[in-house]
Amino acid sequence: MPTYIVLLGPPGAGKGTQAKMLVEKFGLPHISSGDIFRENLKNGTELGKVAQTYMTKGELVPDDVTIAMIHQRFARPDCTPGAILDGFPRTPAQADALEMMLRDFGGHVNIVPFVTAPVDVLIERLTGRWTCKANGHIFHEKFNPPQKAGICDQDGSELYQRDDDKSETVTRRIEVYFQQTMPLVEYYKEHNLLFEIDGDKPIEEVSAQLMGALQK
């Protein structure tokens, strides 16, 4: 039976950072809807162009576009043992679509770690984030700095600041999260899948909480 872990939480809570560690531990693919949109943007695809118009404003890409993209991603063979989902689902319609898709693959969502942190912490994390151009490795100028400024420790590629990490866009992304994604907290609570993780702790402590939740 495949295993599906859904990382839920506001922008900047640390979902991507933790997902990369889980990939190493569990050997499951990391499916980040934001990363797939950014990859499409880099490659100049139609999907990338559509997504960009929403992402630069801090709005969500429409459900039909996002669901179709994730469906395609699940069809790839590396997803046979399951996946770590980061940034999807983000609306009740996406959560319903996910359940239907997973049924087709013979599985269901196993656990939803809900990583939280106060809004001022989220803003400081996002506005100080640096991301690696080659593979999306994540750093922070204060909390998780690279050994050499501007260079990724893991693969030596250049680090950049995401366009949507400008402070006005960050504020909008957090508002959108509260309006459109927060209902999923109740949704997964009702399904007995939600596990709260205090994301306002150092990265290693958050990982330890997460591992504790996943081992139960």
Q: Which residues make up the interface to ligand AP5 (CB under 6 A)?
A: 9, 11-17, 32-34, 37, 54-55, 58-61, 66, 87-88, 90, 94, 125-126, 129, 138-140, 143-144, 164, 173, 199, 201-203, 206
Phi, psi (degrees; rounded to nearest 5) at 154: -80, -40
Q: Which is nearer to ligand AP5, 3 or 161 (CB)?
A: 161
Catalytic residue chosen out of the listed positions 38, 73, 125, 129:
129
Helix intervals (H) in 27-91: 33-42, 46-55, 63-74
Cα atoms in the 13 Å half-sphere on the side-chain side of 137: 15
Catalytic residue chosen out of the listed positions 20, 38, 90, 125:
90
Q: Is 103 a catalytic residue?
A: no
Q: Is 49 a catalytic residue?
A: no
Q: Is 90 a catalytic residue?
A: yes
Q: Shortest gap between Cβ of 96 and ligand AP5 (angstroms)? A: 13
Q: Which is nearer to ligand AP5, 56 or 80 (CB)?
A: 56
Q: Is 125 a catalytic residue?
A: no
Burial category of 136 from C-beta neighbours within 10 Å (exposed 0-12, middle 13-18, buried 19 and up): middle
Q: Which is nearer to ligand AP5, 2 or 92 (CB)?
A: 92
Q: Is 173 a catalytic residue?
A: yes
Helix intervals (H) in 115-197: 119-127, 167-176, 183-190
**Cβ-closest residue to ligand AP5?**
34
The distance of Cα 57 from the centroid of its chain, to the nearest Å, equals: 18
Q: Shortest gap between Cβ of 157 and ligand AP5 (angstroms)? A: 16
b/e sequence 179-207, b meaning 16+ C-beta within 10 Å: ebbeebbebbeeeebbbbbebeeebeebb
- The set of catalytic residues is 15, 90, 129, 162, 173
